[in-house]
Amino acid sequence: MADKLYRDYNSYLREIFGCRVQKITLDAGLSCPNRDGALGRGGCIYCNQKGSGTGAASFAGISEQIGAGKERLARKYKARKFIAYFQSFSNTYAPLSKLAALYSEALADPDVVGLNIGTRPDCVSDEKLDYIAALGETRLICMEYGLQSAKNETLELIHRRHTAEVFIDAVERTRKRKISVCAHVILGLPGEDIQDMLRTARLVAGLDVQAVKIHLLYVVKGTALEEIYRAGRYSCLSREEYAAAAGEFLAVLRPGTIVQRLTGDPHPEELVAPAWALEKQRNLEAIRAYMQEKGLHLGINYAKNSFPSH
């Protein structure tokens, strides 16, 4: 547990497997209904042509990506077991037969102990969830759903093209099958203040969500957000503002929530702003310092929540 301020993901995995477990980020070459025209074109305003991923599918298959990831992460972290993380684009957005082949290929590696499947909450049919639930009988499975904000006006502004109610429905159907859920949220979205961010925290805390990823909104090249930023119509949070927002967000969550991520992790060659987003360790230290100064820890304000009805 990270200084007992929050429950970090690495500690959680070590508790289960007794060794260092690392995620291998995978690009399955899938698309997104917000890019291929089913819902829209161009994606969310912060998403580039790689779909917030690596672009690895253009030169390597799943097995090759896993092999390279294992070698790199074993060398860097002494990791012995791995989670296959389907990250790029929407990883349930394909026929079940294709998804089953991709997931099976990842799980065929004896050192892969589970799957994390990143996707949109409007891309999960009951049929796909039934299949994924069956995988979860022998492996650690987690569905990672992008919520980003509880405020539908914000979701419309950033071109998510789904509502918070769709996220709620996906979580409830997923948990009905006893599959773990990780909610992705973004702090610093255009037009949002701290109360909007805490409203998102309360929505997540009011649902049966096991984990959370908190992202900083940073500006990447080749996105609609870059155009907005360069036109002077969006300002990024400062490090101090982000640390405060993240610390207050954690305090509202359900006690025991696993914190998979606490800040963004941009590719240096793609980042436009803010420059401090590249300083991951300093950013984590700023969040911890804020929480210590304010006497906060994960879930301390959970009992004070007034949860949204849904």
Instruction: State pLDDT tens for residues 65-115.
Output: 999 999 999 999 999 999 999 999 999 999 999 999 999 999 999 999 999
Q: What are the chain's domains?
A: 7-304 (3.20.20.70)
Mean pLDDT of 229-233: 97
Listed in sequence order, the DSSP H helices in the chain are 9-17, 62-77, 96-107, 126-135, 152-157, 164-176, 194-205, 224-230, 239-252, 280-294
**In 3-state terms, what secondary structure has residue 191?**
coil
**In 3-state terms, what secondary structure has residue 206?**
coil
User: Of 55, 160, 66, nearest to 104 (Cα)?
Assistant: 66
Q: Is pLDDT above 90 for 54? A: no
Q: Can you tell me the distance from the alpha carbon of 217 to that of 264, in angstroms, rounded to the nearest whole number?
A: 7
Burial class (CB in 10 A: 0-12, 13-18, 19+), 187: buried
User: What backbone torsions phi and psi does residue 231 show, to the nearest 5 degrees?
Assistant: -85, 0
pLDDT tens, residue by residue, 153-191: 999 999 999 999 999 999 999 999 999 999 999 999 999
**In 3-state terms, what secondary structure has residue 41?**
coil
Return the DSSP state at 262. Answer: S
**CA dist 232 → 41, 121, 155, 229 (Å):** 24, 32, 21, 5
Q: Give me the pLDDT at residue 220, please.
A: 95
User: Of 165, 129, 137, nearest to 150 (Cα)?
Assistant: 165
Q: Is 18 left (phi over 0), alpha (psi -120 to 50) or beta?
A: left
The predicted model scores a pTM of 0.95
Return the DSSP state at 6. Answer: B
Q: Can you tell me the distance from the alpha carbon of 11 to that of 258, in angstroms, rounded to the nearest whole number?
A: 9
Mean pLDDT of 265-292: 96
Which band of pLDDT confidence, cut at 50, 70 and 90, is reported for residue 264? confident
Q: Can you tell me the distance from the alpha carbon of 273 to that of 87, in angstroms, rounded to the nearest whole number?
A: 22
**CA dist 31 → 110, 125, 207 (Å):** 28, 16, 28
Which band of pLDDT confidence, cut at 50, 70 and 90, is reported for residue 309? low
Q: Is pLDDT above 80 for 213? A: yes
Q: Give me the pLDDT at residue 282, please.
A: 97
Q: Is pLDDT above 60 for 152? A: yes
User: What backbone torsions phi and psi does residue 146 show, to the nearest 5 degrees?
Assistant: -80, 115
Q: Can you tell me the distance from the alpha carbon of 104 to that of 129, in angstroms, rounded to the nearest whole number?
A: 15
Mean pLDDT of 212-232: 97
Q: Give me the pLDDT at residue 303, please.
A: 82
